[in-house]
Amino acid sequence: MRGYTDTPVIPGQTWKVHDAARPRPVKVAPGRPLASLPAPGDAEILFDGGSLEKWQMKSRAGEFAPANWKVENGYVEIVSPKGMRWNLVTKEKYGDCQLHLEWMIPAEVNGKGQAGGNSGVELMSRYEVQVLESYENVTYADGQAASIYGQYPPLVNVSPRKGEWNSYDIFFEAPRFEGEKLVKPAVVTVVHNGVLVQHHKEILGPAAHRRTGVYKAHEEEPLSLQDHGHPVRYRNIWVRRVKGE
């Protein structure tokens, strides 16, 4: 899917959600080799290529099960039996944080548009930094790799070829609520393969398809890796909690 013409305008923007006419960000060659940042001393290691003990599966209906994605060769790969779509979520819950992870679309993934190796990093299980093959694969700008899904395209497209690793460094401020009322939206900065692609963006609400999600008050929630039915790989995942005010 290369975009829509019948979706609502994104609040505060002139573009529609998944707007077919929204310009695609210019391509920038990522520096190579990829800097696979070692975890700082105060980071919590979420996945170092070994066990998934910090993780569990969560279904869309909210059921939990032991982590069962495939671990091999230092990475974890999405396993999506019968399109069940159980996300891999952390057992711990997080709010403000610095998150590092690396991801790769295997060379044999050949889907088009949103079927091109779709996954995503879901902060607080709901604010999605998109993961997708975006070197050759074309989709709507607010749904390509490193977009805030349905809200903001990345400033530039730093996607390498399929089969090459990417890194995300994500700096996330959780939304603040007083009772049910939103008093400060979530804010995110994303560095993709060493390049700033989302600069202190105010997230408009939870990720949604063909619309803009609406905030509902919530506490800290797990970090979640999205199962969209494609065998995307992740490695070197670590997080640092950031003390809020």
Number of residues that bind Mg ion (CB under 5 A): 3
- The nearer residue to Mg ion, 85 or 240, going by C-beta atoms, is 85
- The nearer residue to Mg ion, 194 or 229, going by C-beta atoms, is 229
Is residue 118 a contact point for Mg ion (CB under 5 A)? Answer: yes
- The nearer residue to Mg ion, 74 or 139, going by C-beta atoms, is 139
Is residue 150 a contact point for Mg ion (CB under 5 A)? Answer: no
Q: Give the largest CA-CA distance in the chain.
A: 49
d(CA 55, CA 131): 19
- The nearer residue to Mg ion, 142 or 221, going by C-beta atoms, is 142
Is residue 224 a contact point for Mg ion (CB under 5 A)? Answer: no
Q: What's the min distance (Å) between Cβ of 122 and Mg ion? A: 8
Q: Of 197, 227, 199, 185, which Cα lies nearest the Cα of 77?
A: 227
Counted residue by residue, the chain has a size of 245
Q: What's the min distance (Å) between Cβ of 148 and Mg ion? A: 11
Is residue 120 a contact point for Mg ion (CB under 5 A)? Answer: yes
How far is CA 100 from each of CA 18, 66, 96, 162, 218, rounded to the nearest angstrom?
Answer: 27, 23, 13, 20, 23
- The nearer residue to Mg ion, 132 or 245, going by C-beta atoms, is 132
DSSP state at residue 94: B
Is residue 151 a contact point for Mg ion (CB under 5 A)? Answer: no
Is residue 154 a contact point for Mg ion (CB under 5 A)? Answer: no
d(CA 58, CA 29): 36
